[in-house]
């Protein structure tokens, strides 16, 4: 059942800071509620959270599921010398191919059999949508068990970003999110998470992502940045996501040779997992999808807030900064009349400043507009004031691009359907 909008009680903190002349202080309060679908609930009436996947069959083991030692052991088990593992790595991680016809340095009579054994097909392209003159592509993939997931490839000046999925569906049940509606089907395997990047690199190598300004002699283009903002809560699939991250940053040919700094792991706030991530020797960019600085609103907006409150999530984010030295991003979708009030910008700034200076950056994101819905983008002047209030308090804030909204590929819009 969708939650009934209820009147907002006057906030006890932050409200005193409302500027008499502000635009945002005049805004009304709208409460979060799922529209057009029923939010799964516990017997107590709270949105259901699913941390564990149901019992399901996992995809067949793939080369990208294995560590380098396991790969060497595997080729030996198949009666081949160890150096074949390096050749197979080069095909997959450097040339982005698992086509036996491309593997001309392997014994001809074994190629088909090796590929069938080591590179079972994981992602089958079902549909591809292009927008922004062809420099954004949304891929819809069917997995071995029929589950559908998406990834979105975006060209920006000087970088190519891939938004990847980490779970089939999601168990976090956020009322604004298309992905959350269906619940969690299963965790994606490490290789399924890696193969999204390999497939995107293959598409780029074939010239399928338009808008290239590459001159002759420039290095070949490939995905430079990864954001875990597709389907799923990456920290709820911790082990497999960590293994995929290690493969992303492992130098070629054994991995994709990417920079950890260019990889953003985003979470709605699974506090124990954030602490664990800080202990990994992986200086990825960490993003907390906060969307509200007060528990009263965030409890409804991000149901996992029931488990870990705003202050706990911010403490864990600050600890991430302290441990890694990497500045943390706070993602804040600006939703008209729901979370875009001036006092909320002030409260957010106060909470961030209370933990220190220079450790955090806020990315307000205008929600993708759904006219007539309670989930719609903040007005331009409200957005500007929200950012202005953060910056006046010394918090750097950058309005994020909502690339891909025409093809429902922006955050919170990924609900894979054919
Ligand atoms: S917003 Fe993110 S965490 Fe929430 S349901 Fe959607 S995919 Fe899951």
Residue 73 belongs to domain with CATH number: 1.10.150.530
Is 232 labelled a binding residue? yes
Q: Is residue 413 part of a domain?
A: no
Task: Report the pLDDT value the prediction gives residue 364, as an integer from 0 to 100.
Answer: 92
Is 289 labelled a binding residue? yes
CB-ligand 1 contact for 177 (6 Å cutoff) = yes
- Residue 77: both structure tokens together: 């088990």
> Could you give the number of structural domains in the chain?
2
* Span from the CA of 380 to the centroid of ligand 1 (angstroms): 25
Check whether residue 326 and residue 178 sit in a common domain: yes
Q: Is residue 318 part of a domain?
A: yes
Residue closest via CA to ligand 1's atom 7 equals 232
Task: Report the pLDDT value the prediction gives residue 406, as an integer from 0 to 100.
Answer: 45
CB-ligand 1 contact for 172 (6 Å cutoff) = yes
Active site residues: 150, 411
Check whether residue 364 and residue 337 sit in a common domain: yes
282-327 confidence digits (pLDDT tens):
999 999 999 999 999 999 999 999 999 999 999 999 999 999 999 9
Task: Report the pLDDT value the prediction gives residue 55, as an integer from 0 to 100.
Answer: 80
Q: Token pair 């500027």 is at which residue? A: 19
Burial class (CB in 10 A: 0-12, 13-18, 19+), 127: middle
Task: Report the pLDDT value the prediction gives residue 417, as an integer from 0 to 100.
Answer: 44
Check whether residue 44 and residue 69 sit in a common domain: no
H or E element that contains 242? helix 238-249
Check whether residue 384 and residue 369 sit in a common domain: yes
Which residues of the chain fall short of a pLDDT of 70?
Answer: 1-27, 402-418
258 near 268, Cβ under 8 Å? no
**Dihedral sign for Cα atoms in the order 406, 409, 412, 413:** positive
Check whether residue 378 and residue 394 sit in a common domain: yes
Q: Is residue 4 part of a domain?
A: no
Q: Is residue 253 part of a domain?
A: yes
Q: Token pair 């020797």 is at which residue? A: 281
Q: Is residue 7 part of a domain?
A: no
CB-ligand 1 contact for 179 (6 Å cutoff) = yes
Check whether residue 73 and residue 156 sit in a common domain: no
Task: Report the pLDDT value the prediction gives residue 291, as an integer from 0 to 100.
Answer: 94
Q: Is residue 348 part of a domain?
A: yes
Task: Report the pLDDT value the prediction gives residue 211, as an integer from 0 to 100.
Answer: 86
Say how many Å lie between the first and final Cα of the chain, rounded: 26
Atom of ligand 1 nearest to the CA of 167: 7
CB-ligand 1 contact for 40 (6 Å cutoff) = no
The preferred substitution site among 182, 287, 335, 412 for testing ligand 1, maximizing ligand atoms within 8 Å of CB, is 412
Task: Report the pLDDT value the prediction gives residue 178, as an integer from 0 to 100.
Answer: 72
47 near 22, Cβ under 8 Å? no
Domain boundary among 101, 118, 135: 118
Task: Report the pLDDT value the prediction gives residue 24, as an integer from 0 to 100.
Answer: 56
Check whether residue 264 and residue 194 sit in a common domain: yes
Q: Is residue 412 part of a domain?
A: no
CB-ligand 1 contact for 416 (6 Å cutoff) = no
Task: Report the pLDDT value the prediction gives residue 370, as an integer from 0 to 100.
Answer: 72
Task: Report the pLDDT value the prediction gives residue 282, as an integer from 0 to 100.
Answer: 94
pTM of the model: 0.91
- Host domain of residue 96: 63-118
Task: Report the pLDDT value the prediction gives residue 36, as an integer from 0 to 100.
Answer: 82
The preferred substitution site among 149, 173, 233, 408 for testing ligand 1, maximizing ligand atoms within 8 Å of CB, is 233
Domain boundary among 79, 101, 118: 118
Check whether residue 104 and residue 220 sit in a common domain: no
Q: Is residue 360 part of a domain?
A: yes
CATH of residue 301:
3.20.20.70
Check whether residue 227 and residue 343 sit in a common domain: yes
């Amino acid at each position: 059942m969708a939650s009934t909008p209820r009147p907002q009680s006057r906030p006890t903190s932050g409200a005193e800071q409302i500027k008499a002349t502000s635009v945002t202080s005049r805004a009304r309060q709208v409460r979060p509620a799922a529209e057009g679908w029923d939010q799964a609930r516990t017997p107590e009436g709270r949105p259901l959270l699913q941390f564990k996947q149901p019992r399901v069959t996992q995809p067949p083991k793939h080369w990208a599921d294995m560590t380098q030692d396991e790969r060497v052991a595997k080729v030996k088990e198949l009666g081949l010398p160890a150096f074949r593992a390096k050749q197979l790595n080069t095909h997959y991680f450097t040339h982005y191919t698992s086509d036996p016809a491309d593997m001309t340095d392997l014994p001809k009579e074994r190629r088909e059999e090796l590929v069938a054994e080591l590179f079972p097909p994981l992602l089958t392209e079902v549909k591809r949508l292009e927008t922004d003159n062809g420099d954004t592509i949304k891929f819809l993939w069917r997995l071995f068990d029929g589950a559908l997931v998406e990834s979105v490839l975006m060209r920006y000046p000087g970088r190519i970003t891939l938004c990847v999925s980490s779970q089939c569906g999601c168990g976090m049940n956020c009322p604004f999110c298309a992905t959350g509606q269906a619940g969690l089907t299963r965790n994606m395997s490490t290789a399924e998470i890696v193969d999204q990047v390999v497939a995107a690199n293959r598409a780029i190598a074939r010239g399928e992502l338009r808008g290239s300004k590459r001159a002759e002699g420039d290095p070949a283009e490939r995905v430079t940045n990864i954001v875990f903002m597709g389907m799923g809560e990456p920290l709820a699939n911790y082990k497999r996501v960590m293994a995929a991250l290690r493969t992303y940053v492992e130098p070629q040919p054994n991995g994709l040779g990417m920079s950890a700094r260019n990889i953003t792991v985003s979470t709605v706030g699974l506090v124990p997992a954030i602490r664990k991530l800080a202990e990994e020797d992986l200086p990825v960019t960490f993003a907390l999808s906060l969307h509200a600085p007060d528990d009263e609103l965030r409890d409804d907006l991000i149901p996992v807030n029931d488990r870990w409150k705003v202050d706990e999530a911010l403490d864990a984010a600050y600890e991430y900064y302290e441990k890694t030295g990497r500045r943390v991003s706070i993602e804040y979708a600006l939703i008209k009349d729901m979370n875009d009030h001036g006092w909320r910008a002030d409260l957010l700034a106060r909470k961030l400043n209370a933990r220190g200076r220079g450790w955090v950056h806020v990315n307000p994101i205008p929600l993708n507009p759904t006219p007539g819905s309670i989930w719609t983008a903040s007005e331009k002047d409200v957005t500007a004031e929200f950012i202005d209030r953060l910056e006046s308090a010394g918090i750097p804030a950058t309005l994020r691009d909502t690339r891909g909204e025409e093809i429902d590929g922006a955050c919170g819009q990924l609900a894979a359907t054919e």
